[in-house]
Amino acid sequence: MENETKLMSVRDAVIMAMSEEMRRDENVFLMGEDVGIFGGDFGTSVGMLEEFGKERVRDTPISENAISGCAIGAAMTGMRPIVDVTFMDFIVYMMDNIVNQAAKTRYMFGGKGQIPVVFRCAAGSGVGSAAQHSQSLEAWFTHIPGLKVVAPGTPADVKGLLKAAIRDNNPVIFLEYKAQYNMKGEVPLDPDFVLPLGKAEIKREGNDVTVVTYGRMLERVLKAADELAESDGVHVEVVDLRTLAPLDKETVLESVKKTGRVLLVNDAHKTGGFIGEVAAMIAESDAFDYLDSPILRLAADDIPTPYNHLLETAMVPSVERIKKYILKLVNKR
């Protein structure tokens, strides 16, 4: 089984990761609205109640404040809760518990108190959920010391990074993109397949331009890179951050030095988005001296997400827009 893989969706990779960790450690449990009998609002816990029972797959009241408080308290006393936040927008109701309690407790007690809790967030637009259910709020949490923020973009990375997040002794915000729950890819079946937090990956090598991205946009960036290689002979290096906090700065900077051009892409709003932090990090480093063109950012428009499908699609970077920005950097068009 060590090298075996199976074609599966992001949804199934989430279920596999949680189930493997719950079999491995009796202190791991899942909690949230509709995670039990219903199998999760996005189907990400189907079958788990039958295997693990209602004590470890716990349906909760509709109160995000209560859910987060109970989870953090459980983590403080030795349990390892996984919280299904469902729509990431609902994490707003959990902010005080996460930001003022979970993120700071270990530091305030000199490392003696651990908070091993994972908040799984269904993020992003693309499924017609409108303005109050379509946000990517990862930048808020990268601003808070003590929190780890993870945003995988492939089914395999979802499995490996979710398992790492569950094993971590710090609070982790884990993004799962609603529009990609059905996306399929090869996923290792090995229960020991765990990817390190804080390590980016070069998903595609190239010499002409670096594109740094994460999460949902990775699939579009890779498609744009493949098409440009065929149509224009432009060879794009794609850096998948995977973890935003802690950030793998070395991998990003080495790629920028290699290509001399960089485009940063995410599906969150442009103003205050995390890619702005990446741009500042590049500008403040010695990689800045290697740049042959200004740093470019491509992100979602600064508007609430429309319900209308065509408007929703238009506000987020498309493959064609990504290609246009890359060609601008290499002065092809």
The residues annotated as belonging to the active site are 133
Burial class (CB in 10 A: 0-12, 13-18, 19+), 273: buried
CB atoms < 10 A from the CB of 250, how many?
10
Residue type for 322, please? Answer: I
How far lies 153's CA from each of 55, 70, 183, in Å? 31, 30, 10
| Residue for token pair 């379509």 | 134
- For residues 171 and 119, the answer to whether their CB atoms sit within 8 Å is yes
Strands 80-87 and 118-123: parallel
CB atoms < 10 A from the CB of 208, how many?
21
